[in-house]
Structure 1
Amino acid sequence: MYDMGTRKRALALVAQGRSLNSVSQETGASRSAIRSWQSRIEPLPRMKRTPCSRCGPTTESPSNTAAYSYLLGLYLGDGCISPGIRAGSFLRIACANAWPGLIEACATAVEAINPSKKSNRVHAVGYVSVVGYSQHWPCLFPQHGPGKKHERPIVLEPWQQEIVDAHPWEFIRGLIHSDGCRITNWTTRLVGGERKRYEYPRYFFTNKSPDIIQLFTDTLDAVGVSWKRANSCNISIARRASVALMDTHVGPKY
């Protein structure tokens, strides 16, 4: 990929009567590229490098911060970034086949944040990986690194925390959609001397990373949701008012 300055300089040298070989040696551009520029100097659309809000000339947050907050939750739960061809990377979010609505929501979020605005789906046994290809996933998700997430520190960058603070429910929804659930528990109690079955809804979030657990509970605190730690990897939300809040802003998977 040659910048426009290199292209114009090469064509100016050719116009002076220089050979393609000498122009190639001076500019570093291949002779075939110089020949193609003589008929078309603009790069083909597929060759244009898509801009990135984080590593471009001006560093800023992704334009759709709500979609980013949701996708960040999905990534921290069931996502990974792996090397692709050339300098690109693949973002993969695993979504169970049981939740087609989640698959659609995930694909929409990937397309909203991917500079190319594209995603595709890779089907496997029991799940679908929503995949996006870009050179920019590592700068959009700096938590990427070697090894499993629960075996290394997971800390949000200040710009990410600002997005989560602005869109806490989208972040919570992404985490629940990836590593959480809404279930109905039941117990029995005496009513008028008769033992009756009593059912109540509850949300659970499960993750082995203490850092991701902390991000989840800190965000719950920020929106006024009460929670309890069932064990080191499980967070329970069972109080009626808090479940009602979760139902309003998150709801069960579908």
Structure 2
Amino acid sequence: MHPPEMRKRVRALRAQGHNIRSTARALSLPYTTVWHWCVDRPEPVIAGSSARCFRCLPDEDGPSDPSAYAYLLGLYLGDGHLVTSAQVPVLRIYCSDTWPNLISLCDEAMRAVLAASVQRVQKQGCVGVQSYGTHWPCLLPQHGPGKKHERRIILADWQERIVRTVPGAFLRGLFHSDGCRIANRVTVRGKTYVYPRYMFVNESTDILGLCQWGLDLLGIAWRMNRPNSLSVARREAVAALDRHVGPKS
């Protein structure tokens, strides 16, 4: 028999976003014991979204929709914010009013990954797509105090495995948040040429590195045109990225 204090420690770790496996390892408990406490006979702290959190289900190795998760991860790294100080964590992703389809895609991705309920909060010039859920910290362990470019942003091993299977969806989220597809104009000997070009701008060198990694996985050429800006400009590279990202709408 385990003392009641042990269950309290389990609940405390779960409230901090630890999954069942890491909780069991941290407290030197059998995995099945923690699983029965949290899933088979769950405590109130994880009731609700625990049934949809693939990190907390014993038989799930990943999300039911990897593309939706990878896309949402890209959006979060660009324009997202996860508040864990409230009674229930809330994920917010801000989308410009200029791109109404992006707002719908963000909403759909949240619902596909975890949320049963998503709200759209109108701000000046943008919409905050948000969802409350105890288990958002399980799925987005990059959350933390302060701005993303002021702290390390590293994917967990299980996130890397997901992105490797659907790098195009991950890049789509990144470019839909902090990227764009523009018509670049170049004048040579008095003649103007116009060609499409992708740009991705982020102050975090870690997030820029993740974008570079995603492009490398697809064999898409890129270059850094500024310390905080990445460019995809070669014709074949733009065509390849079009198949996965495309312009915002």
* Counterpart secondary structure, 1:183: strand
Once superposed, which parts of structure 1, at least 4 consecutive aligned residues long, lie more than 2 Å away? Answer: 47-50, 55-60, 83-86
Question: Is the aligned partner of 1:182 residue 2:181?
Answer: yes
CA distance in 2, matches of 1:63, 1:245: 26
Q: Quick one: distance in 2 between partners of 1:108 and 1:239?
A: 32
How far does residue 187 in structure 1 lie from its aligned partner after superposition?
A: 1.6
Preserved CA contact (<8 Å) 1:97 1:128: yes
1:79 aligns with 2:74: no
Report the alpha carbon displacement of residue 59 of structure 1 after superposing the two structures with TM.
5.6
Question: 2:54 maps to what in 1?
Answer: 53
In structure 2, what is the equivalent of residue 205 of structure 1?
200
Q: Give the equivalent residue in structure 2 for 1:110.
A: 110
Q: Distance in 2 between matches of 1:85 and 1:220?
A: 36
SS of structure 2 residue aligned to 1:201 = strand
Determine helix, strand or coil for the equivalent of 2:243: helix
Is residue 84–residue 90 contact of structure 1 (8 Å, CA) maintained in 2?
A: no
For 1:117 and 1:49, locate their aligned partners in 2 and report how far apart those are by CA, in whole Å: 9
Q: By how many angstroms is 1:85 displaced?
A: 5.1
Q: Tell me, in whole angstroms, the C-alpha distance in 1 between the residues paired with 2:84 and 2:211.
A: 28
Deviations 1:46-74 (A, max 9, x none): x9523221134446322211100000000
Q: Identify the residue that residue 69 of structure 2 maps to in structure 1.
A: 68
- SS at the partner of 1:249? coil
Moved more, 105-114 or 58-67: 58-67
SS at match of 2:171: helix
> Distance in 1 between the 2:219 and 2:138 partners?
31
Matched, 1:221 2:216: yes
Unaligned runs of 5+ in 2: 1-45
| TM-score after normalising by structure 1 | 0.76
Q: Aligned pair 1:92/2:87, yes or no?
A: no
Distance (whole Å) between structure 2 residues aligned to residue 246 and residue 49 of structure 1: 38
Instruction: Report the counterpart of residue 230 of structure 2 in structure 1.
Output: 235
Query: C-alpha separation between the residues in 1 aligned to 2:228 and 2:47?
Result: 44
Q: Write the distance in 2 (CA, Å) between the matches of 1:135 and 1:98.
A: 31
Please give the alpha-carbon distance, in whole angstroms, between the structure 2 residues aligned to 1:144 and 1:61. 20
Q: Which amino acid aligns with 1:242?
A: A
One-letter code of the match for 1:253?
K
Contact (CA 8 Å) 1:67, 1:112: kept in 2 or not?
A: yes
- Tell me how far apart the structure 2 counterparts of residues 81 and 196 of structure 1 sit (CA, whole Å): 48
Measure, in 1, the Cα distance between the counterparts of 2:206 and 2:176: 18
Q: How many angstroms apart in 2 are the aligned matches of 1:130 and 1:211?
A: 24
Give the equivalent residue in structure 1 for 2:20.
none
Question: Contact between 2:84 and 2:137, CA under 8 Å: does it hold in 1?
Answer: no
Gaps of 5+ in 1: 1-46
**2:134 aligns to what?**
135
SS of 1:112's partner is helix
Which amino acid in the other structure matches residue 231 of structure 1? R
Query: Max radius of gyration: which structure?
Result: 1
